[in-house]
């Protein structure tokens, strides 16, 4: 893209042009001719006569999807946000950001919609897996590293969701009610740190409001704090469909409404400018900011409307595996059961073993270049396939059927044949044919010039051969209508009677199911007759354009028989690996979890298998904590998160000791859901949610109440041992420099995280947490090696400042401060101590 002179272009644009610049590109409705490529969610409007190109935005938090929901170009999927946080490695995250920037270039995108740094206020948050930590400093420093990496490539980062977008329950109709103190010390702080250390080029506002005013139209948030106090210069965009006003949003500082077509900008904004509800100088401010982002994006070298390609390289795979390895946290390892020996007889049990659970649901989902299952990763280490059984199902919705069937042409997946006429009509002309692998299909941007945009139909066809006599269950979720037939027999009807559910952002039906008895060796042909959104008997959300469809299916198991089978398999093995956890149905944008437990029956299965074999290792894949009532029955637990493309390889690397785990928990694991500080206040009631725990989020709460947790913040074991010594603390020129010597006292190479916490020596004017994380550093050491590690912090941050609501400034109180250097948030006799003194109380704001 060519460089532009912002002021010169601004002077040439008409009022109407400026208004059009402040919303996503006009996407023609489904009742008008389709634009090339279908409905547009991702572009700004171009003004070629003035040399202003269209910008392309792309999700997102753990990989760059590109512009397509339907049948898009495959991409690199990074470990989820919580996994990135668990690395405690700023250098690695900056490297990850650089790779994300390269991925954006391959998708022709100028701006990445990420990272996500909302606080993990509760373990139940549907998008908790997207965020980095429950701690604002860890989240802010991690986000800064990612942003610096992304923006070093010329691609710009859009940090999100500003602010307090911490739950999914009625997220568009909820006000977060909290004190100024909690807002400043916890929820705004990671964004503040990111502005200080990386200056992201864009911010995305949250869907919610704060204390009565929606984020996208909140002048205190956008103008007073972000732009004036923090002196940040950049673009503010709404979350998709997260704009709720014309005048208020423009005056508050919202630059772009996304996506197009505009709902509150467009003609509405033009009228309000003409009537001086929005003054022309305000319009110029908004337009100038957009043009400045266009100018920045010119440095990326990404042309306007660039083609999208899959940049699947060995270098990308190696980096994804490295991040996956470093993200895994060894929670427990009694009797050094791990690492396992490859020559021993190994069995694998569990529903996550043969499914690559590599991302959470919603905006974070994408079609990966490939995805390695734990079973595949383990088999590769062993050189042969280990014994396997599922043990217990864990799905919320039936597993995606496309992975288990073949198209009529013999490819994995299902064939989609598109018509303008419904099934049974004659004549019926085939208009399009596409093979789809992942039969969870959002058709918002599906386009073909030959189809009728008002209403069309599709048949999805695939087949498989039954490998045993069994009962098979099929399921359909739809925005539109759908019926599923097996060998011509109607098994699932999700057309005649439909019930609204929570999937596809709360716009689709519940999953309608049906069963059929299968015989071993026989072929079963599946056909789904789909009608586009115009056939939907429920609400018709415009964001879904053509509609959506999810086809699922799996064998029905006898639970007691399957658990007994798993126990028998385990009893006869040396090594037992249970692969379990949640998936993108349980942890997803659009809904929060109802409780902290694993899917029904899973806890009992784990307990039963552990009784059959004392060397049982549990590999847990979740993005946020789950309860573990069986924890005392198993010797080893590995927290593997959602690990991206290399999920299975990273798990196998750690389990067999080819990589020594070094991850640390970026959030606390409570024993029970009832123990978490937001338990009584984690849903929308009367259009608001009360942040009753105030500043006591995560470990701050558990330590203040002396409430035991299952695993503490910062916890993570290793296959080697480390010692720390020679702590030093120096305060000079407004900086606190903390040093320590770390030694690998074990027999294998490993990495340790030096965590620096600060505690007041004397009570503050107000109640405060016992201690707070203020910095960290990671160091890798060979056996017997030692290194000096340093962490430097600004004293105005390091001295645990609290927000003084009487002055609307941060306060650093005069007095002594203990510096605690440890490898987790739990202080022991091995914790190193130092101190520094603040000679006079002072107040500050800004960054």
418 and 520 belong to one structural domain: yes
CA distance 676 to 120: 11
pLDDT class of 61 with cuts at 50, 70, 90: confident
Q: Domain of 470: which CATH number?
A: 2.60.120.260
Task: Tell whether 806 is covered by a domain.
Answer: yes
Please tell me the total count of domains within the chain: 4
Tens digit of each residue's pLDDT (9 = 90 or more) over 138-158: 999 999 999 999 999 999 999
For 665, the token pair is 């928990």
DSSP symbol at 225? I
CA distance 337 to 382: 17
Predicted pLDDT of residue 315: 97
Q: Domain of 180: which CATH number?
A: 3.20.20.300
Angle, CA 164 vertex, CA 41 and CA 59 arms, to 5°: 25
Bridge partner list, 525: 463
290 and 351 belong to one structural domain: no
Q: What is the 3-state secondary structure (H, E, C) of 676-704?
A: CCCHHHCCCECCEEECCCCCCCCHHHHHH
446 and 538 belong to one structural domain: yes
Q: What is the mean pLDDT of residues 664-686?
A: 96
Contact (Cβ atoms closer than 8 angstroms) between residue 67 and residue 58: yes
Tens digit of each residue's pLDDT (9 = 90 or more) over 615-648: 999 999 999 999 999 999 999 999 999 999 999 9
Whole-number Cα distances in Å, 437 to 402, 406, 412, 551, 648:
5, 9, 6, 11, 20
545 and 428 belong to one structural domain: yes
734 and 802 belong to one structural domain: yes
160: pLDDT strictly greater than 70? yes
Q: E-strand spans in 532-686?
A: 548-555, 575-581, 616-621, 636-639
Q: Domain of 770: which CATH number?
A: 2.60.40.10
580 and 551 belong to one structural domain: no
For 483, the token pair is 């019926």
Angle, CA 301 vertex, CA 21 and CA 55 arms, to 5°: 20
pLDDT class of 30 with cuts at 50, 70, 90: very low
Instruction: Tell if the pTM clears 0.85, that is, is over it.
Output: yes
Dihedral of alpha carbons 529, 530, 534, 535, sign: positive
441: pLDDT strictly greater than 90? yes
**Among 529, 556, 583, residue at a domain's last position:** 556
Q: Domain of 324: which CATH number?
A: 3.40.50.1700
pLDDT class of 1 with cuts at 50, 70, 90: confident
33: pLDDT strictly greater than 80? no
Give the list of residues 6+ apart from residue 340 with CB closer than 8 angstroms, or none: 346, 575, 577, 617, 655, 656, 657
Catalytic sites, residue numbers: 239
617 and 532 belong to one structural domain: no
Contact (Cβ atoms closer than 8 angstroms) between residue 1 and residue 53: yes
Task: Tell whether 451 is covered by a domain.
Answer: yes
For 614, the token pair is 């004392």
Bond into 465 cis (ω within 30): no
Provide the Cα torsion 419, 423, 424, 426; round to 10°.
-10
Predicted pLDDT of residue 539: 82
CA distance 610 to 678: 33
Where is 679: in which H helix or E strand?
A: none
Whole-number Cα distances in Å, 571 to 441, 568, 576:
41, 5, 9
DSSP symbol at 307? P
382: pLDDT strictly greater than 80? yes
Whole-number Cα distances in Å, 340 to 321, 436, 649, 819:
20, 38, 15, 38
**Among 715, 731, 758, residue at a domain's last position:** 715
Predicted pLDDT of residue 250: 98
Angle, CA 172 vertex, CA 171 and CA 174 arms, to 5°: 65
Q: What is the mean pLDDT of residues 418-432?
A: 95
CA distance 93 to 826: 25
Dihedral of alpha carbons 425, 429, 435, 441, sign: negative
Contact (Cβ atoms closer than 8 angstroms) between residue 600 and residue 396: no
| Total length of the chain | 847
Task: Tell whether 133 is covered by a domain.
Answer: no
**Among 715, 741, 757, residue at a domain's last position:** 715
**What is the SS3 assignment for 362?**
coil
What does the mean pLDDT of the chain come to? 95
Provide the Cα torsion 239, 241, 244, 249; round to 10°.
40
620 and 734 belong to one structural domain: no
542 and 407 belong to one structural domain: yes
Phi and psi at residue 348, to the nearest 5°: -120, 130
Q: Which of 84, 440, 86, 153 is nearest to 301 (CA)?
A: 153
For 26, the token pair is 């006009």
Number of helices (H), then strands (E), in the chain:
19, 35
Give the list of residues 6+ apart from residue 285 with CB closer than 8 angstroms, or none: none
CA distance 203 to 225: 13
Q: What percent of the chain has pLDDT over 70?
A: 98
Predicted pLDDT of residue 150: 98
Tens digit of each residue's pLDDT (9 = 90 or more) over 483-523: 999 999 999 999 999 999 989 988 899 999 999 999 999 99
Q: What is the mean pLDDT of residues 149-173?
A: 96
Task: Tell whether 659 is covered by a domain.
Answer: yes
Predicted pLDDT of residue 542: 60
Whole-number Cα distances in Å, 156 to 152, 212, 295, 298, 326:
9, 31, 11, 10, 26
CA distance 551 to 245: 38
34: pLDDT strictly greater than 70? no
Predicted pLDDT of residue 169: 92
Where is 791: in which H helix or E strand?
A: strand 786-794
Predicted pLDDT of residue 26: 67
Predicted pLDDT of residue 39: 59
20: pLDDT strictly greater than 80? yes
74: pLDDT strictly greater than 60? yes
502 and 551 belong to one structural domain: yes
CA distance 52 to 6: 10
CA distance 477 to 466: 24
Task: Tell whether 536 is covered by a domain.
Answer: yes
482: pLDDT strictly greater than 70? yes
Strands 111-113 and 57-59: parallel
38: pLDDT strictly greater than 80? no
Q: What is the mean pLDDT of residues 305-313?
A: 95
29: pLDDT strictly greater than 60? no
Q: Which of 323, 377, 316 is nearest to 651 (CA)?
A: 377
383 and 452 belong to one structural domain: no
Contact (Cβ atoms closer than 8 angstroms) between residue 304 and residue 48: no
254 and 209 belong to one structural domain: yes
CA distance 135 to 156: 25
Residues spanned by the domain of 792:
722-844
Task: Tell whether 769 is covered by a domain.
Answer: yes
Q: What is the mean pLDDT of residues 413-437?
A: 96
Q: What is the mean pLDDT of residues 813-836?
A: 97
CA distance 609 to 632: 13
Task: Tell whether 682 is covered by a domain.
Answer: yes
Tens digit of each residue's pLDDT (9 = 90 or more) over 92-143: 999 999 999 999 999 999 999 999 999 999 999 999 999 999 999 999 999 9
Q: Which of 70, 762, 782, 780 is nearest to 437 (CA)?
A: 70
Compute and round to an integer the Cα radius of gyration of the chain: 27
CA distance 231 to 478: 47
Task: Tell whether 307 is covered by a domain.
Answer: no
């Amino acid at each position: 893209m060519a460089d532009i002179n912002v002021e010169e272009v601004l002077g040439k644009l008409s009022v109407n042009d400026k208004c059009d610049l402040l919303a996503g590109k006009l996407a023609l409705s489904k009742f008008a001719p389709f634009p090339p490529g279908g409905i547009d969610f991702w572009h700004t409007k171009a003004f070629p006569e003035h040399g202003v190109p269209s910008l392309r935005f792309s999700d997102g938090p753990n990989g760059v999807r590109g512009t397509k929901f339907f049948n898009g170009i495959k991409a690199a999927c990074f470990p989820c946000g919580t996994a990135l946080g668990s690395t405690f490695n700023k250098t690695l995250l900056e490297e990850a950001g650089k790779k994300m920037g390269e991925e954006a270039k391959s998708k022709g995108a100028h701006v990445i919609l990420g990272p996500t740094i909302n606080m993990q206020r509760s373990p139940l948050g549907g998008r908790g897996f997207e965020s980095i930590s429950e701690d604002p400093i860890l989240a802010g420093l991690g986000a800064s590293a990612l942003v610096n990496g992304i923006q070093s490539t010329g691609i710009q980062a859009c940090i999100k969701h500003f602010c307090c977008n911490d739950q999914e329950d009625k997220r568009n109709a909820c006000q977060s009610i909290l004190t100024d103190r909690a807002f400043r010390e916890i929820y705004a702080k990671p964004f503040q740190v990111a502005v200080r250390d990386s200056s992201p080029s864009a911010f995305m506002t949250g869907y919610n409001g704060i204390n009565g005013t929606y984020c996208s139209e909140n002048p205190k948030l956008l103008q007073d704090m972000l732009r004036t106090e923090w002196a940040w210069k950049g673009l503010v965009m709404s979350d998709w469909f997260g704009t709720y006003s014309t005048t208020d949003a423009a005056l508050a500082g919202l630059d772009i409404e996304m996506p197009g077509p505009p709902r509150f900008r467009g003609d509405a904004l033009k009228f309000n400018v003409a009537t001086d509800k929005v003054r022309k100088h305000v319009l110029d401010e908004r337009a100038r900011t957009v043009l400045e982002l266009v100018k920045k994006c010119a440095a990326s070298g990404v042309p306007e409307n660039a083609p999208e390609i899959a940049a699947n390289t060995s270098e990308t795979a190696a980096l994804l595996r490295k991040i996956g390895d470093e993200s895994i946290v060894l929670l427990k390892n009694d009797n050094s059961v791990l690492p396992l020996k490859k020559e021993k007889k190994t069995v694998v049990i569990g529903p996550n073993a043969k499914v690559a659970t590599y991302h959470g649901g919603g905006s974070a989902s994408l079609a990966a270049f490939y995805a390695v299952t734990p079973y595949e990763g383990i088999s590769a280490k062993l050189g042969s396939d280990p014994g396997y059984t599922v043990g217990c199902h864990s799905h919320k919705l039936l597993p995606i059927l496309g992975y288990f069937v073949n198209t009529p042409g013999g490819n994995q997946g299902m064939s989609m044949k598109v018509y303008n006429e419904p099934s049974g009509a004659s004549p019926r002309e085939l208009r399009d044919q596409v093979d789809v692998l992942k039969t969870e299909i959002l058709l918002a941007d599906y386009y073909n010039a030959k189809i009728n945009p008002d209403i069309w139909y599709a048949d999805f066809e695939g087949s498989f051969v039954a490998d045993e006599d069994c009962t098979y269950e099929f399921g359909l979720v739809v925005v539109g209508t759908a019926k599923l037939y097996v060998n011509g027999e109607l098994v699932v009807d999700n057309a005649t009677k439909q019930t609204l559910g929570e999937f596809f952002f709360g716009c689709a039906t519940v999953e309608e199911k049906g069963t059929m008895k299968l015989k071993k060796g026989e072929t079963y042909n599946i056909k789904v007759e789909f009608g586009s959104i115009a056939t939907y008997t429920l609400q018709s959300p415009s964001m879904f354009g053509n509609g959506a469809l999810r086809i699922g299916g799996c064998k029905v198991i006898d639970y007691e028989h399957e658990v007994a089978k798993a126990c028998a398999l385990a009893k006869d093995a040396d090594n037992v690996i249970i692969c379990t956890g949640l998936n993108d149905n349980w942890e997803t944008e659009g809904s929060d979890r109802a409780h902290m437990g694993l899917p029904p029956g899973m806890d009992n299965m784990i307990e039963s298998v552990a009784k059959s074999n004392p060397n049982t290792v549990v590999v847990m894949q979740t993005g946020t904590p789950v309860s573990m009532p069986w924890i005392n029955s198993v010797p080893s637990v590995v927290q593997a998160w959602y690990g991206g493309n290399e999920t299975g390889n990273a798990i196998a690397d750690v389990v067999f000791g080819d990589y020594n785990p070094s991850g640390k928990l970026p959030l606390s694991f409570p024993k029970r859901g009832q123990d978490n500080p937001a338990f009584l206040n984690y849903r929308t009631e009367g259009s608001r949610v009360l942040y009753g725990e105030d500043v006591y989020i995560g470990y701050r709460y558990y330590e203040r109440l002396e409430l035991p947790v299952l695993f503490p913040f910062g916890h993570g074991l290793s296959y080697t041992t480390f010692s720390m010594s020679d702590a030093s603390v120096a305060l000079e020129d407004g900086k606190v420099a903390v040093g320590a010597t770390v030694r690998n006292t074990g027999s294998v190479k490993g990495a340790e995280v030096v965590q620096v916490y600060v505690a007041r020596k004397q009570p503050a004017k107000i109640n405060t947490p016992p201690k707070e994380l203020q910095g960290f550093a990671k160091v890798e050491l060979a056996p017997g090696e030692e290194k000096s590690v340093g962490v430097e912090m600004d004293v105005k941050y390091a001295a645990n400042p609290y927000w003084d609501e009487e002055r609307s400034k941060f306060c650093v109180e005069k007095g002594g401060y203990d510096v605690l250097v440890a490898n987790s948030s739990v202080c022991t006799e091995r914790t190193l101590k130092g101190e520094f003194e603040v000679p006079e109380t002072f107040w500050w704001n800004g960054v």
